Structure 1
Amino acid sequence: MTLTKPILLAEDNPRDAELALAAMEEHHLADKVILCHDGAEVLDYLYCRGHFKARLQGNPAVVLLDLKMPKVDGLEVLRTIKNDAALKPIPVVMLTSSREERDLVESYALGANAYVVKPVEFHQFLKAVKELGVFWGMINEPPPEGASRATGR
């Protein structure tokens, strides 16, 4: 199976972003990753505005979303995605260093598809991100664009 939609990676930590891209490179996914450094940039991408206004329409295969980000935090980005019928079908994986139970509970309450705590150990982090990229970017079958509108949900 080939990846036709990009992976949207929301990560404000340059080291974690670099490691995530390196992890996805092994499966040739890195060239399909859109890197956003804050929550406002994620929303600009999803709504085709700002420096993303000329991008091709369509949703990413998955959003790998950091929880603690500048400008707009991950929970607010998640809330926006899951409250918009056009964006709601996008799988959102919270990829965070937070082990706080309230962050976990709120993420799932807002509609997160998964919650992954970033491993501290270098090789475990690479493995986790690589597996996320492969599953959500290549293996998972997302609903077709506009599916939630077609079913009236």
Structure 2
Amino acid sequence: MNQQNTTQVLSPTGHFSVLLSPTPRGARLARLLAVEWMRDHEVPYGVTETAAQVVAELATNAATHGRVAGRSFRLALLSQPDVLRIEVTDTRGEDLPRLQPPSPEGDSGRGLLIIEALADRWGVELGPAPRKTVWAELDLTRP
């Protein structure tokens, strides 16, 4: 099945949403689109760089662990005066992410540790079935 990427901008200033194929290409595109949107909306450079890494990790997790054939994942960015919220929604609500120590020999397993280190807050929301949304927030006003 050929999936198309679709973009939806819900508000000219504060909300971006896009459906992407759950593939490595979709994960890379998520990062590129997020960086472009943040530049267009004048998100501070340091936050943009951190947010790009968070988007990359969450999108890669969705494409790797949240993948269901024929179903896309959604990237959403919500900018408020003091916070940038990043949301990645996939259709594997039964497979919740967990922080765990990575295997020293493994090539993966560090994504949530990176999210934990970079984000000011993060979490998981369930629903509507069969979806889950992993979100991260970055404060735009840093001390």
TM-score, normalized by length of structure 2? 0.34
Higher helix share: 1
TM-score, normalized by length of structure 1? 0.32
Larger relative CO (CA 8 A, sep 6+): 1 or 2? 1
